[in-house]
Amino acid sequence: MGRRRVLDGRHLFPRPRRRAPGRLRPLHRHLRRPRAVHQHAGRQPARPVRRQRGAREGQRGAARDACPWQVHERQRSLPHQHRGAAAPARVGRAVHRRGEGRHLVPGRDLARHARVAVRRSGVRDGLSLAREPTRAPGGPASRNEAHETGVIQTLRRLAIGLVVLLIVTAISSADTISEVLRPQPQAAGQVRVVALGDSVTSGHNCNCAAFPQMYGDLLHDRSDVPVLVNNLGVAGLDSNGLLQLLNQRNSPAEQATAAANVVLITIGANDFGDHHDDVTSGQCTGDCVSDEFEQLQVNLGKILDRIHVLRANLPTTILMTGYWNVFKDGDVAKRQYTPSGRIASDQLTVRTNAAIAAAAQADDATYVDIYTPFEDSTDITSLLASDGDHPNAAGHTLIARTLLAATPNPLTASPRQGG
């Protein structure tokens, strides 16, 4: 055999190279333990001897010696941190690039090596996702990938189902709206009446059945057919407000008017409410309300046009009433108004009734005169409520009978000319 070379072991620990600034050197805790040194009585401790490596061991050793970034210092033992076998010895500050700290244990090595990224099993982060190998096309999918694919497919199905549901709902709503706007077919021998107007129509301050309901009862007694009455009178309503109600989509006024073959309208007195004091005091004889009067004429024409549109130019009986007075009348007016004020109020009433009659004649409607029956009564106060502004039960009865007298018998009406 050749001469064995005895070495002191210093060549096994090469001098560490200077580390580049900012270079990360993760901890390597899988270094081999140093070989035990056997001592014999009376002999000096033997120095480590470098032995020849076998075929298998030579490959590992060569790879280990070829790692220029390993640094070995004095070994130290870690404290006992678990039950069972003793904690393995670890070489202090031994650093090895193994996947940027993937070998470190979370909670134990992270505190001493804060710059090392400790990868937890099952946790996907930006760094790990960037280095994870991509599955080849056609290869087997992992459980996580299969789960994610199933979730995505489920969400896609839910989204498609929601879109389909919204489309079906929109189509159904469109059909419903078209059905509402379309005139409803009348039952055999049935009459539908809708009343549109202000506080006179609603029966304000009367505590009685208003004239639309009385008119329905009288019409039923005369024709011996079922009569359905829908009173949509609103206290304080003017011509602008009524036009807005008829133009509002799916409003009660729009729906009821589209389904009615008899329409009662009482509107216009509240258009002059802002000039009540000027007129009733005698300071205004008509000039102060000229703008309101012109707007009333325009609104009346639009209201009748809208009714014909809602009725699709079907035969419809439209009855438009005038007023006995646009303001207060009877004993209340005598106490509160000046003589010149009562005259100005009466003149404005006559002028308003003329505008209503002209609008009715122009749009194939029927004007119903209320002024004459009230003035022809022996005492107009007996037809008014305590406020002198609204009719009482007797006054509503008189209006209902006047409307019935103006209603065709049998109940027929010609469609709008040119519609």
- The number of beta carbons lying within 10 Å of the beta carbon of residue 121 is 6
Half-sphere exposure of residue 276: CA atoms within 13 angstroms, side-chain side: 12
Judging by DSSP bridges, how do beta strands 89-91 and 262-266 pair with one another? unpaired
The length of the chain, given as a count of residues: 419
Q: Smallest Cα–Cα separation from 415: which of 309, 320, 322, 321?
A: 309
Q: What integer pLDDT is reported at residue 190 of this predicted model?
A: 87
Rounded to 10°, the helix 239-247/290-310 angle is 30
Q: Are 292 and 271 contacting, i.e. CB atoms less than 8 angstroms apart?
A: yes
Greatest pairwise CA separation for the chain in angstroms: 155
- Cα–Cα distance between 58 and 48 in angstroms, integer? 18
State whether residue 90 is helix, strand or coil: strand
- Cα–Cα distance between 57 and 71 in angstroms, integer? 21
| pLDDT band at 32; cut points 50, 70, 90 | low
| pLDDT band at 214; cut points 50, 70, 90 | very high
Q: Are 196 and 162 contacting, i.e. CB atoms less than 8 angstroms apart?
A: no
Judging by DSSP bridges, how do beta strands 191-197 and 262-266 pair with one another? parallel
Predicted TM-score (pTM) of the model is 0.57
Tokens found for residue 115:
């710059």
Cα–Cα distances (Å) from 278 to 148, 164, 344, 347, in that order, read: 79, 62, 9, 14
Q: What integer pLDDT is reported at residue 55 of this predicted model?
A: 52
Q: What integer pLDDT is reported at residue 165 of this predicted model?
A: 81
- 261-298 pLDDT, tens per residue? 999 999 999 999 999 999 999 998 778 999 999 999 99
Whose tokens are 């946790």? That residue is 123
In what helix (H) or strand (E) does residue 296 lie, and over which residues does it extend? helix 290-310
Q: What integer pLDDT is reported at residue 131 of this predicted model?
A: 46
What per-residue string of b and e applies to 145-168 under the rule 16 or more CB within 10 Å gives b? eeeeeeeeeeeeeeeeeeeeeeee
| pLDDT band at 124; cut points 50, 70, 90 | very low
Alpha helices in 231-289 (DSSP H): 239-247, 252-259, 276-280
Tokens found for residue 353:
């009734």
Q: Are 80 and 53 contacting, i.e. CB atoms less than 8 angstroms apart?
A: no
Q: Smallest Cα–Cα separation from 242: which of 178, 184, 304?
A: 304
Tokens found for residue 366:
């029927």
Residue 380 per-residue DSSP state: G
Q: Are 230 and 193 contacting, i.e. CB atoms less than 8 angstroms apart?
A: yes
Q: What integer pLDDT is reported at residue 313 of this predicted model?
A: 83
Residue 112 has pLDDT above 70, yes or no: no
- 226-266 pLDDT, tens per residue? 999 999 999 999 999 999 999 999 999 999 999 999 999 99
Cα–Cα distances (Å) from 296 to 166, 280, 384, in that order, read: 44, 20, 25
- What lies within 8 Å, CB to CB, of 253 at 6+ separation is 194, 196, 232, 242, 245, 246
| pLDDT band at 21; cut points 50, 70, 90 | low
Q: Are 332 and 388 contacting, i.e. CB atoms less than 8 angstroms apart?
A: yes
Q: Per-residue pLDDT averaged across 71-82, rounded?
A: 47
Summary mean pLDDT of the chain:
76
In what helix (H) or strand (E) does residue 339 lie, and over which residues does it extend? helix 339-362
Q: Smallest Cα–Cα separation from 249: which of 174, 197, 312?
A: 174
- 304-341 pLDDT, tens per residue? 999 999 999 899 999 999 999 999 999 999 999 999 99
- Cα–Cα distance between 187 and 418 in angstroms, integer? 27
State whether residue 188 is helix, strand or coil: coil
Q: Are 183 and 311 contacting, i.e. CB atoms less than 8 angstroms apart?
A: yes
88: cis peptide before it, omega within 30°? no
Residue 399 has pLDDT above 50, yes or no: yes
Q: Smallest Cα–Cα separation from 362: which of 282, 298, 314, 278?
A: 298
Q: Per-residue pLDDT averaged across 94-108, rounded?
A: 51
Q: What integer pLDDT is reported at residue 266 of this predicted model?
A: 98
- DSSP string computed for 40-69: -TTSPPPPP------HHHHHHHHHHHT-TT
